[in-house]
């Protein structure tokens, strides 16, 4: 069972993994790959692993440049799944909303089904008591020779798979090879490599064993937290991800990766231990790796073995013998595995510091509250895709960019060149600044060429997102890349308050450097995403500062956009801040209709708040004719004698005393 939970003031994120070889007694693995025949292996008892998933918090500022009138980004409608089997299928418990389950089976499943031709898994999703998310599943073992033979039998292998097979034969054969060596594989990976389902073990929704492919049998049971202290955000519902919330779908994708084959047998702590080695009852031998462990390197040619675990930081995934770090995050830099006895998952990437959102990846060992909305395997650098491809899941050979070779561009124009994939007949090159897959900078249309010149690139040093589409056998596939724009522009830049900081009240003065050639400015502030202005939209100014009042004090994210008019063109930089976190009512839901004449009002503690007062009244904002109880250090208060039906508006003011100063948040409710 893989389990990870938000580690806040209230909870630690633990992930457990239960692994077992249950081949229904002495069942032989037969009819495998090209009629490969396998001898039965011994039964191995279930193994319990503990892995830790720690969160990080904090906002990241970003820089964007575009014209005031922005072109519509077209949505490609001719992308079709390439999976030749059932693909990824999510079966949901009755406590999971139908809309959530539908989004899993359409949008989330398509991330895998449109990339891999043989990644098939049926995953049961349920809410329950857990960390952020947990998965329980059965694992099976192949001999090392069987596994290597299966990789060699993959038809039309990708360049990564060819390199991976060469690297295994060069560096893993000696420590792991021979018929007495074993490799742990997931049910999905075993089936992808040709092992018949009748020889494998699946799991029921009640955690019993079963045969994959039979009714009620799943690859894994994934539990997502229903703890109100660990709030979840749902991408398909829109709005902005709260600063303390975790994306439900990113959590499911993290677990799906592990159901397929990104997880390790190694538990971190303490001490480091290999949960698949011979020290376990019924174990087969010391240092039994999972498939992904055959690709963990500390440097070129130096494979990190399961039989000699190290607490030294820095090992990474590599498909070519350690020469290339094959796992990137959003920033495009190589991610390292967690190899320390710190309680985090040994199989996941170390998160960036101090703000893990700057180089975030689905397989990070630490969560990013408020930052992982929309994070998927398609927009986080592709490390998981490379891992799954290397261990045995196949994907078409798509076209690959090779130019510009340097990620930082030198000017406002560049020529992008690519190597065509096998059978690719047409291409499209999209360039944008609005995130992975955007095309607001360049959307030129179809080409049969292998290069494209792009002009009018921004020159403010921001991130450019480049997507190269390849049409293969009538199906469009894509590879994503990031570049850094040349830094030659002269936009105004916010200097105060410190970008990314937490504001100190409901008012603040924002100051900025004048920029080069800027004649006018506009400062927008909002709470509904980058570019929103529902809090502040004052109009044009020639000054370099602006005082803003009426800022929220609920601890949420504030989005600030500073516009600069240079040579008649409006361009901008974006920033984020955290509103001062006063105590904030969480129940009943603000703005809701009360359901009784006696209600328990609950609130989230303010940061640094030592005392509170709850005023309730019907005589206008700030009135207290219904409740004026005095000071409390608690975070809940029951108010009786509330108006009955037809009572109109109930005004609630929650005071918080922070550093000796009383401040408040106001709310309104409707009487029952």
Q: For residue 79, is it within any domain?
A: no
Same domain, 446 and 564: no
Q: Are 525 and 558 in contact (CB under 8 A)?
A: yes
Q: Please tell me the distance from the alpha carbon of residue 355 to that of residue 577, in angstroms, as a whole number.
A: 14
The pLDDT, as a whole number, for residue 645 is 67
Average pLDDT over residues 345-359: 79
Q: Are 582 and 665 in contact (CB under 8 A)?
A: yes
Look up the CATH number of the domain holding residue 648.
Answer: 2.60.40.10
Q: For residue 433, is it within any domain?
A: yes
Indicate the burial class of 212 (C-beta count within 10 angstroms; 0-12, 13-18, 19 or more).
Answer: buried
Q: Please tell me the distance from the alpha carbon of residue 205 to that of residue 201, in angstroms, as a whole number.
A: 14
Rounding to the nearest 10 degrees, give the CA dihedral for residues 446, 448, 452, 456. -20
Evaluate if residue 29 carries a pLDDT over 70.
no
Residue 38 CA, chain-centre distance (Å), reads 38
Rounding to the nearest 10 degrees, give the CA dihedral for residues 321, 327, 332, 335. -100
Same domain, 297 and 315: yes
The pLDDT, as a whole number, for residue 39 is 32
Q: To which H or E segment does residue 455 belong?
A: none
The pLDDT, as a whole number, for residue 474 is 67
Q: What angle do CA 149, 153, 155 make, to 5 degrees?
A: 160
φ, ψ for residue 183, nearest 5 deg: -130, 130
What region, left, alpha or beta, does residue 622 occupy, with left being phi > 0 and alpha being psi -120 to 50 degrees? left
Q: For residue 64, is it within any domain?
A: no
Look up the domain containing 542 and give its range: 493-578
Computed over its alpha carbons, how large is the radius of gyration of the chain? 27
Same domain, 560 and 451: no
Average pLDDT over residues 74-96: 73
Q: For residue 71, is it within any domain?
A: no
Sheet holding 661-670, edge to edge: 609-617, 649-658, 661-670
**206 to each of 4, 153, 282, how far by Cα in Å?**
20, 36, 25
Domain count, the chain: 4
Q: For residue 412, is it within any domain?
A: yes
φ, ψ for residue 287, nearest 5 deg: 80, 40
Q: Please tell me the distance from the alpha carbon of residue 322 to that of residue 304, in angstroms, as a whole number.
A: 10
Confidence of residue 363 (pLDDT cuts 50, 70, 90): very high
Q: Please tell me the distance from the alpha carbon of residue 181 to that of residue 287, in angstroms, as a whole number.
A: 9
Report for 90-94, 364-368, 407-411, 658-662: range of highest mean pLDDT = 90-94
| Last residue of one domain, picked from the residues 343, 360, 391 | 391
Q: What angle do CA 204, 4, 334 make, to 5 degrees?
A: 115
- Two structure tokens written together for 562: 């500073």
- Two structure tokens written together for 145: 């020779």
The pLDDT, as a whole number, for residue 286 is 55
Q: Please tell me the distance from the alpha carbon of residue 342 to that of residue 356, in angstroms, as a whole number.
A: 17
Does 478 sit behind a cis peptide bond, omega within 30 degrees of 0 on the bond before it?
no
Evaluate if residue 145 carries a pLDDT over 50.
yes
CA atoms within 13 A on the CB side of 637: 24
Evaluate if residue 11 carries a pLDDT over 60.
no
Confidence of residue 402 (pLDDT cuts 50, 70, 90): confident
Same domain, 378 and 406: no
Rounding to the nearest 10 degrees, give the CA dihedral for residues 390, 392, 398, 404. 0
**85 to each of 427, 441, 599, how far by Cα in Å?**
27, 37, 53
Kindly report, residue by residue over 489-547, the tens digit of the pLDDT.
577 888 888 877 888 788 899 998 887 778 899 999 998 888 889 999 888 999 999 99
Same domain, 464 and 333: no
| Last residue of one domain, picked from the residues 391, 422, 452 | 391
Top pLDDT among 159 and 82 is at 159
| Last residue of one domain, picked from the residues 434, 453, 484 | 484
Q: Are 488 and 50 in contact (CB under 8 A)?
A: no
Same domain, 104 and 167: yes
Residue 409 contacts by C-beta under 8 Å, 6 or more apart in sequence?
Answer: 457, 464, 483, 484, 485, 486
- Pick from 523, 514, 606: which is nearest to 558 by CA? 523
The pLDDT, as a whole number, for residue 82 is 65
- Two structure tokens written together for 526: 């909002």
Confidence of residue 641 (pLDDT cuts 50, 70, 90): confident
Same domain, 528 and 509: yes
- Two structure tokens written together for 209: 């064993």
The pLDDT, as a whole number, for residue 270 is 65
Average pLDDT over residues 15-28: 26
Q: For residue 440, is it within any domain?
A: yes
Cα dihedral sign, 251-254-255-260: positive
Same domain, 506 and 480: no
Q: For residue 602, is it within any domain?
A: yes
Range in 61-75, 149-163, 296-310 the model is least confident about: 61-75
Q: Are 456 and 489 in contact (CB under 8 A)?
A: no
Exposed e or buried b for every residue in 632-659, given b needs 16+ CB within 10 A?
Answer: eeebebebeebbeeeeeebbbbbbbbbe
Q: Please tell me the distance from the alpha carbon of residue 101 to that of residue 108, in angstroms, as a whole number.
A: 10
Q: For residue 604, is it within any domain?
A: yes
Same domain, 104 and 23: yes
The pLDDT, as a whole number, for residue 648 is 86
Top pLDDT among 57 and 143 is at 143
Same domain, 97 and 211: yes
Classified as helix, coil or strand, 101 is helix
Same domain, 475 and 597: no
Same domain, 147 and 218: yes
């Amino acid at each position: 069972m893989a389990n990870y939970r938000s580690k806040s003031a209230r909870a630690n994120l633990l992930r457990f993994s239960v692994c077992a070889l249950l081949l229904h007694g002495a069942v032989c693995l037969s009819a495998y790959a090209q009629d490969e025949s396998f001898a039965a292996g011994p039964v191995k008892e279930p193994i319990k692993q503990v892995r830790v998933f720690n969160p990080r918090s904090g906002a990241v500022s970003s820089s964007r440049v575009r014209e005031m009138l922005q072109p519509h980004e077209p949505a490609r409608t001719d992308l079709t799944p390439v999976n030749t089997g059932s693909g990824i299928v999510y079966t949901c418990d009755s406590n999971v909303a139908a809309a959530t389950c539908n989004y899993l089976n359409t949008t989330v499943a398509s991330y895998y089904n449109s990339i891999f031709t043989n990644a098939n898994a049926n995953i049961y999703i349920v809410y329950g008591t857990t960390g952020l998310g947990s998965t329980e599943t059965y694992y099976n073992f192949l001999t090392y020779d069987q596994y290597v033979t299966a990789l060699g039998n993959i038809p039309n292998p990708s360049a990564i798979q060819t390199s991976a097979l060469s690297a295994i034969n060069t560096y893993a054969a000696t420590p792991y090879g021979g018929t007495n060596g074993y490799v742990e594989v997931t049910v999905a990976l075993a089936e992808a490599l040709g092992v018949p389902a009748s020889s494998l073990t699946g799991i029921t929704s009640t955690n019993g064993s079963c045969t994959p492919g039979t009714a009620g049998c799943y690859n894994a049971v994934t539990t997502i937290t229903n703890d109100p202290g660990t709030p979840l955000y749902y991408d398909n519902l829109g709005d902005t991800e709260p600063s303390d919330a975790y994306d439900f779908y990113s959590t499911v994708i993290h677990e799906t990766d592990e159901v397929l084959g990104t997880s390790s047998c190694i538990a971190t702590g303490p001490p480091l231990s290999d949960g698949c080695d011979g020290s376990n009852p019924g174990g087969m031998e010391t240092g039994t790796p999972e498939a992904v462990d055959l690709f963990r390197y500390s440097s070129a040619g130096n494979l990190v073995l399961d039989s000699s675990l190290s607490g030294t930081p820095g090992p990474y995934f590599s498909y070519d013998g350690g020469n290339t770090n094959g796992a990137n995050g959003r920033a495009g830099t190589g991610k390292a595995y967690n190899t320390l006895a710190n309680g985090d998952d040994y199989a996941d990437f170390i998160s960036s510091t101090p703000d893990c959102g700057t180089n975030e990846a689905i397989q990070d060992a630490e969560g990013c509250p408020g930052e992982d909305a929309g994070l998927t395997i398609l927009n986080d650098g592709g490390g998981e895709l490379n891992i799954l491809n290397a261990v045995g899941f196949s994907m078409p050979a798509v076209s690959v960019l090779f130019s510009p070779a340097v990620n930082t561009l030198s000017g406002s124009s560049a020529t992008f060149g690519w190597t065509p994939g096998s059978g690719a007949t047409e291409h499209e090159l999209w360039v944008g600044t609005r995130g992975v897959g955007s095309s607001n900078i360049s959307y030129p249309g179809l080409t049969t060429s292998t290069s494209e010149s792009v002009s009018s690139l921004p020159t403010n040093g921001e991130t450019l997102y480049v997507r190269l589409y390849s049409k293969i056998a009538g199906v469009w596939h894509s590879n994503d890349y990031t570049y850094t724009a040349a830094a030659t522009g002269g936009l105004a830049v916010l200097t105060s308050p410190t970008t990314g900081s937490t504001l100190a009240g409901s008012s603040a003065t924002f100051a900025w450097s004048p920029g080069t050639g800027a004649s006018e400015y506009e400062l927008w502030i909002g709470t509904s995403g980058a570019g929103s202005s529902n809090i502040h939209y004052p109009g044009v100014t020639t000054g370099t500062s602006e005082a803003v009042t009426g800022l929220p004090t609920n601890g949420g994210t504030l989005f600030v956009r500073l516009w600069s008019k240079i040579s008649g063109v409006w361009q901008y930089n974006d920033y984020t801040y955290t509103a001062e976190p006063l105590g904030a009512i969480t129940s009943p839901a603000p703005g809701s209709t009360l359901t009784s004449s006696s209600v328990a009002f609950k609130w989230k503690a303010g940061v640094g708040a030592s005392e509170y007062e709850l005023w309730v009244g019907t005589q206008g904002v700030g009135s207290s004719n219904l409740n004026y109880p005095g000071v409390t250090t608690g975070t809940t208060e029951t108010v009786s004698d509330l108006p009955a039906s037809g009572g109109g508006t109930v005004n609630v003011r929650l005071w918080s005393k922070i550093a000796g100063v009383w401040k408040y948040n106001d709310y309104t409710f409707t009487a029952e």
